[in-house]
Amino acid sequence: MGNKLRIEKLQELIKQEMSKMLLTDLKDPRIGFATVTDVEMTGDLREAKIYVSVMGGAEQVKSSLEGLNSALGFVRREIGQRIRLRFTPEISFALDTSLDYGDHIQKLLLQVEGDKHADNA
Q: Do residues 79 and 17 lie in contact, with contact meaning Cβ atoms separated by under 8 Å?
A: yes
User: For position 14, what pLDDT does the model report?
Assistant: 96
In tens digits, what is the pLDDT along the chain, a chain of 121 residues?
568 999 999 999 999 999 999 999 998 889 988 999 999 999 999 999 999 998 888 899 999 999 999 999 999 999 999 998 889 999 999 998 876 676 778 788 888 877 776 666 6
- Domain boundaries along the sequence of the chain: 2-96
pLDDT, residue 100, reads 67
Which residues are 51's β-sheet partners?
38, 94
> Which residues are within 8 A (CB) of 56 and not within 5 positions of it... i.e. 6 or more apart?
32, 33, 64
pTM of the model: 0.79
Query: How far is residue 19's CA from residue 36's CA, in Å, rounded to a whole number?
Result: 6
What is the CATH architecture of 2-96? Answer: 2-Layer Sandwich (3.30)
Give alpha helix (H) positions in the chain.
Answer: 2-24, 58-70, 72-82, 98-120
